[in-house]
Amino acid sequence: MNELGFPIISLVTFFPIFGALILMFIDKEAKDTIRGTAMVFAMIEFFISLPLIFAFQSGTADMQFVERYAWVKSAGLSYFIGLDGISLWIFMLTTFLTPICVLCSWTYIQKRVKEFMICLLLLETAMLGALVSLDLILFYIFWELMLIPMYFLIGVWGGDNRIYAAVKFFIYTAAGSVFMLLSILFLYYFNHKLTGVYTFDLLELYKLNIPVSTQFWLCLTFFVSFAIKVPMFPLHTWLPDAHVQAPTAGSVILAGVLLKMGTYGFMRFAIPLFPYASNQFTPIIATLAVVGIIYGALVALIQPDMKKLVAYSSVSHLGYVMLGIFAFNMQGVEGGLYQMLNHGISTGALFLIVGMLYERRHTRMIKDFGGIAKVMPVFATFFMIMTLSSIAVPGTNGFVGEFLILVGAFRSMPVHAVFATSGAILGALYMLWMYQRVMFQPLDKEEN
């Protein structure tokens, strides 16, 4: 039993499934009842997760709220979950964003509302499960489970090109996961060979002394799987299509949490399991991160579609996160962790803003807007705050994370850091360019 005396992580993780089961028994025509029920469960989920923050002990690196039960003892399978400083805030971000996703779908989703809300709640459980899993097979189950509801969110409730985007998303992520599974099984048998014990226990597998040559190919399979999810350049091509075609709620949860599963995977699994190989791969990863920062910003700069612009900004921002993680110093890693949270809030909010405009105008083209600040001043203020956060203006949450990342990068790889700094300038260009045209261009279109 954990610090609170009852299995709170299991309760929070699986509570959305209970909500999904309740929704199954509600008449599909009672759409408002379905929406209200989903919102109630999402809000309760958020509130029951709050004690984790207050009970969390920040002065230790140990796993907290640990729950461990033998699953298949003879095969070394166990239900082993816990939280630490790496996973806590992404876990909380997930419970925070889910009710927002339900709310922003209230009028946007009109067909198959029940199925949509069920998928959203199942996706929440899958994401939370992946974040708390300390057994590799348990992690892999939740990791794969995330694909299914997200596939349907894009493929059923997405835009005109939704099938292509959903299939591309599924193929990319599933293909990378297959190789990761092979490496997990190798670690399982390799541990038995050395110790005589079959186990998927992550904390035990951390202790393995894996030969350097073996580390390289094992590390590569984990790296590819997580790099696709981040996504890192050049494995990012599924992301713009997925974002553009996904409904607003899908984009918010994709940007807010799902992409963080990749960066979280590097920190929780790839780097500590294969430290030597990770260190040797650092120049390659750092270079790809910097290329992603600049490439994402340049492509965002020429986008006529607001949603695609924000999607490419994610490629750039997550490049910063990867650069911070692979700086391998306190400032870089802390900045990477902080920026994961910042990106989830600011970019999730930007997708929400774009979705609100699309609901009113049924277009996302920047040229179709203008003068919105005159008719929606409160909206324009909120949009400006999120824009400033996205471009890391001092005084915003985005500044702290990006500053720490660059400080850490300058200490360990100054050349990469110099090039990465240009991404901040480009970020200001494309975000302020979009904001100025949407909010302050002449109000010459009657629809606006």
User: For the segment 191-204, what is each residue's pLDDT rounded down to a tens digit?
Assistant: 888 888 888 888 88
Query: How many domains is the chain partitioned into structurally?
Result: 1
Q: Is the pLDDT of residue 370 over 70?
A: yes
Q: Is residue 16 part of a domain?
A: no
Q: Is the pLDDT of residue 17 over 90?
A: yes
Q: Is the pLDDT of residue 92 over 90?
A: yes
Q: Is residue 42 part of a domain?
A: no
Whole-number pLDDT of residue 208: 85
Domain of 327 in residue numbering reads as 274-448
Whole-number pLDDT of residue 447: 60
Q: With bands split at pLDDT 50, 70 and 90, how would you rate the model's confidence at 4?
A: low
pLDDT digits (tens, 9 = 90+) for 291-310: 999 999 999 998 998 999 99
Q: Is residue 210 part of a domain?
A: no
Q: Is the pLDDT of residue 448 over 60?
A: no
Higher pLDDT, 382 or 447: 382
Q: Which phi and psi (to 5°) does residue 417 adopt?
A: -65, -40
Contact 379, 445 (CB under 8 A): no
Whole-number pLDDT of residue 443: 64
Residue 381 CA to residue 385 CA, distance in Å, equals 6
Whole-number pLDDT of residue 139: 93
Mean pLDDT across the stretch 95-115?
89
Mean pLDDT across the stretch 234-253?
88
pLDDT digits (tens, 9 = 90+) for 260-286: 889 999 999 999 999 898 888 999 999
Q: Is residue 161 part of a domain?
A: no
Whole-number pLDDT of residue 3: 58
pLDDT digits (tens, 9 = 90+) for 342-362: 988 999 999 999 988 888 888
Q: Is residue 353 part of a domain?
A: yes
Whole-number pLDDT of residue 20: 93
Strands 64-72 and 77-83: antiparallel
Q: Is residue 305 part of a domain?
A: yes
Q: Is residue 362 part of a domain?
A: yes
Q: Is the pLDDT of residue 239 over 80?
A: yes
Q: Is residue 405 part of a domain?
A: yes
